[in-house]
Structure 1
Amino acid sequence: MLIKEAAKKLNTTARTIRLYEEKGLISLKKDQENDYRIFTEDDLYRLSTIIALREIGIQISEIREMLKQPGMQMEDYLNLQRSVLYEKLLEMKDMIHTIDQMMEHVDSADFQPISKLAEHLKKLKQIRKGWKDKWDFDSQAIEYDQHIKKAGYTFNVHQGYDVALSTVKQCITLNAKDQCLDIGVGTGNLGGRFLHQGAHVIGVDQSGKMLEKCKEKYPLMEVRKGHFLALPVMDLTMDVVVSSYALHHLPDEEKLLALQEINRVLKSGGQLCIADLMFQNENDRKRVLDMYRLEGNMEAVEAIEDEYYADRSLLIEWLVAHDYEVKAQQINSILSVIYAEK
């Protein structure tokens, strides 16, 4: 396919395609005899992704970063489009909600409430876009399962791993054709346990490589690129939401936003179950850290302080305030399972 045909198929112009080529967003093969650009199906999907992202206002420099992953194929491009569109959808909903709140203050001489709402909206945008994967999960994906430490270490974050995942499985009542969402699915170690029950399991992760590995292990699982603060599913469509060893990668102020996002997608009567690294409360965190310091186990102290182990009491408090019935089970000093019905 030549450039004019490609432009017509994508409802764009040859000039636009050349611009994206000049900016390094796409690299096209050329016919050696006449130097004409030749478009493959993957080229078309890449271009359609670029066009879609530009339509919703994403800058060329940002798109270039998004498309850095080598060997992207049709599913990858569509997954990326869906992920970004959901983020934009949530941003629009935030904006509309904020405007509705601002309207309540338009007759007031005090401008401060409106100013505070605008600042809150700005902060929400920054939070949704600001999370960074400082652990580089893409590089861990291939050997992730082999590197899960279960025994024989001075400090073992995965002690109780299998017990925790089994506990989640036991807590959940899942019927055939139910919609089950696994957030931070990784290589599918939790979500894969629900496939044989006939449920439709969607695994969400921000790491494309983790999703590739998950799909390789569990071909029947649907995988989608996304994260806790922008789940790529529609409102009130999930019967079950589960997560394991993922929430502790969010800073504390974002964990409650994650629960808010889970609440958006979970049906009334739906079930939520989270297995993660957390303390019962702030006093318990201090007690455990003091214990490790007294033992001289600085590996444990550094590991805990490197991540964002949750305050379980705050998560439960939020869920109860939003009409969930909640149960919690302690697996060990740093690992708990929270089960909640909406």
Structure 2
Amino acid sequence: MGREFLDIFEQWADSYDDTVIGHDIEYKEVFSKYEQILAAVADRSVGHVVEFGVGTGNLTQKLLARGLRVTGIEPSPPMRKIAEAKLGNKAVLLDGDFLQFPKVNNIDTFVSTYAFHHLTDDEKANAVTHYGSLLSKGGRIVFADTMFQSTEDYYHTIVKAKHQGYLNLAKDLETEYYTTIPFLKNILEENNFSVTFKQFNDFVWLLEAVKQ
């Protein structure tokens, strides 16, 4: 359920903010238009927001700037410590993950950036079903993450990364659980969500789902 990657989160904690602004060439395209991606997620969020994978708190800051109430869920202690230092007492940050998190009432929007790929496809399906049970009509899921239009595109991206010499990126793509847009569309529609996708760079798409 994503916690098997906690050691990766620990390694990324101190360098994450430098990476997202393009200082690591391997991940430069992954984080292309990073600020626009965060802004797009924040702009589509309403009411009481539960954010999965708070990380270093960059999206949380944009959500708070819009006057939204935020409950953050973050399994990594080092990441959570950095976020707490940035945010002070402006948001509630809790230990948890996409599938196991403390009870939170009256949720209007679930958000996440660069994190849903830490779940297997079966876990993604279970998560969407759970979120659907917690949201009222009009409730939203707004996730930005690396995803692919087909499995062929996914494998082509791994080959391309290796050809470019981006071996860390290739290893991430092979190790974590990247999925396809048709799969996500199907599981969301099965749980009575209408869903749209918007592409921001060669890796990241924005998923916006609204409970019907």
Alignment match, 1:165: 38
Instruction: Give 1:169 shift.
Output: 2.2
Q: How many residues get paired?
A: 208
- Please, what is the CA RMSD of the aligned residues? 2.4
Judging changes above 3 Å, is the alpha-carbon distance between structure 1 residues 253 and 215 closer, same or farther for their aligned structure 2 residues? Answer: same
Alignment match, 1:318: 187
Judging changes above 3 Å, is the alpha-carbon distance between structure 1 residues 155 and 133 closer, same or farther for their aligned structure 2 residues? Answer: closer
Instruction: Give 1:266 shift.
Output: 2.4
Q: Distance in 1 between matches of 2:37 and 2:6?
A: 25
Q: Percent identity?
A: 28
1:55-92: CA deviation from partner (whole Å, max 9, x where unpaired): xxxxxxxxxxxxxxxxxxxxxxxxxxxxxxxxxxxxxx
Instruction: Give 1:143 shift.
Output: 4.3
Judging changes above 3 Å, is the alpha-carbon distance between structure 1 residues 207 and 154 closer, same or farther for their aligned structure 2 residues? Answer: closer
Q: How does 1:1-342 map onto structure 2 within 5 Å?
A: 131-138=3-10, 140-148=12-20, 150=22, 153-156=25-28, 157-172=30-45, 174=46, 178-219=47-88, 220-234=90-104, 237-292=106-161, 295-297=163-165, 299=167, 300-342=169-211
Stretches of structure 2 lacking an aligned partner (at least 5 in a row): none
1:236-279: CA deviation from partner (whole Å, max 9, x where unpaired): x2111110011112233322122223223323211110001111
Residue identity matched to 1:224: L
| 8 Å contact from structure 2 (residues 3, 97) kept in 1 | no
Instruction: Give 1:233 shift.
Output: 2.6
When structure 1 is superposed on structure 2, of 150-159 and 274-283 the one drifting more is 150-159
Instruction: Give 1:149 shift.
Output: 5.4
Judging changes above 3 Å, is the alpha-carbon distance between structure 1 residues 283 and 140 closer, same or farther for their aligned structure 2 residues? Answer: closer
Q: Secondary structure at the match of 2:58?
A: coil
Judging changes above 3 Å, is the alpha-carbon distance between structure 1 residues 305 and 283 closer, same or farther for their aligned structure 2 residues? Answer: same
Q: Secondary structure at the match of 2:109?
A: strand
> Which has the greater radius of gyration?
1
Stretches of structure 1 lacking an aligned partner (at least 5 in a row): 1-127
Instruction: Give 1:231 shift.
Output: 2.6
